[in-house]
Amino acid sequence: MARIDWNPWRKLLALPNESRTKTLVVAFLVSTVCALTVSGATVLLRPIQTANRAAEEQARIEALVRGIPGMAELLEQSGGTLSTVVVDLETGRAAEDVTSDTLPLALADAANWSALDPGDDVAGLGQRPDFAQVFLLREDDEVSLVLLPMTGQGYGGRIDAIMALRGDMNTVAGVAVTNHSETPGLGGRIEEPAWQEGFVGTELRAPTGDMRFAVARGEASTPYEVDGITGATRTGRGFTNMVRFWLGPEGYGPLIRAFQRGEF
């Protein structure tokens, strides 16, 4: 009498290739092996991927800082460490559930935007995001530079910029205009390095704490002003309003107070 082979693997292989059972089992086994291989590779490579993302983020931040007039020299002189944090603008503290990676998804949700009262909306935004990503330069565990993205309405449309403040949160270290729709040769001159360099050293507030920053209608005459651009009064006014809004209570005001209390 023929000996019965109880080995399931050999029994499976003995089936004809046209067998539906053999096809399904082999497909299942192949997919399982592939899934385990991919999962294993993901686990093994995750530390490398994390390190690469961190390096890319650091390089991106450094490139951003170096794009601001005078920031490359400041970065080289300070030898500090750049980092980034997502801030809850309502509290001025680091967001608990939103990170740099999840910020775009969070801002895609209308629930994470706040409507602005017309009297407070000097930048002409209509609404303001509840979270913002800011960049910090630390020296000996102290923040020496803060980069604050901001946006507002100019004469031709939206203006996007990044303002760098020194550790006192009152002295401008630099400005970079990253996007605008102003008239070429007039308001469009806000993108010129020569104009942006005029911000360096400008003070924002008087000793009383009152916001005094402004783009002058002509040449700057106080420590709180930068030169205006001939023929671009409305652009200058829009820039003034943008800065005053974002550095005020509806913008980064709570964050600035947190810095001054030493919470970062």
Torsion of CA 245, 246, 247, 252, to 10 degrees: 130
Residue 94 CB-density burial (10 A; 0-12 exposed, 13-18 middle, 19+ buried): middle
pLDDT of residue 63: 65
- The per-residue pLDDT for range 64-88, each reduced to its tens digit, is 666 655 556 656 665 566 788 999 9
pLDDT of residue 45: 52
User: What is the percentage of the chain residues whose pLDDT exceeds 70?
Assistant: 77
Closest CA to 107 of 68, 66, 151, 146: 151
- The per-residue pLDDT for range 180-209, each reduced to its tens digit, is 988 888 988 998 988 998 999 999 999 998
Q: Spell out the residues 6+ positions from residue 189 whose beta carbon is closer than 8 angstroms to its own.
A: 182, 195, 229, 232
pLDDT band at 167 (very low <50, low <70, confident <90, very high): confident
What are the CA-CA distances from residue 152 to residues 12, 132, 161, 251 (Å)?
Answer: 70, 15, 9, 12
CA torsion sign for 247, 250, 252, 257 is: positive
Tokens 């651009």 locate to 229
CA torsion sign for 197, 257, 64, 111 is: negative
pLDDT of residue 129: 93
pLDDT of residue 12: 62
Closest CA to 147 of 193, 82, 197, 90: 82
pLDDT of residue 56: 60
pLDDT of residue 112: 93
pLDDT band at 174 (very low <50, low <70, confident <90, very high): confident
Closest CA to 238 of 136, 165, 157, 178: 157
3-state SS, residue 87: strand
- The per-residue pLDDT for range 232-259, each reduced to its tens digit, is 999 999 999 999 999 999 999 999 999 8
Q: Spell out the residues 6+ positions from residue 211 whose beta carbon is closer than 8 angstroms to its own.
A: 204, 205, 244, 247, 248
pLDDT at 93 over 60: yes
Per-residue burial over 129-139, b if 16 or more Cβ lie within 10 Å, else e, is ebbbbbbbbbe
- The per-residue pLDDT for range 105-148, each reduced to its tens digit, is 999 999 999 999 999 999 999 999 999 999 888 877 778 889 89
pLDDT of residue 55: 56
Choice between 62 and 158, residue whose per-residue pLDDT is larger? 158
Which residue type, as a one-letter code, is found at position 53?
R
Per-residue burial over 232-250, b if 16 or more Cβ lie within 10 Å, else e, is bbbbbbbbbbbbbbbbeeb
8 A C-beta contact, residue 167 and residue 161:
no
Across residues 167-188, what is the average pLDDT? 89
pLDDT at 21 over 80: no
- Enter the pTM of the model: 0.73
> To the nearest whole number, what is the mean pLDDT of the chain?
82
- The per-residue pLDDT for range 94-105, each reduced to its tens digit, is 998 898 889 989
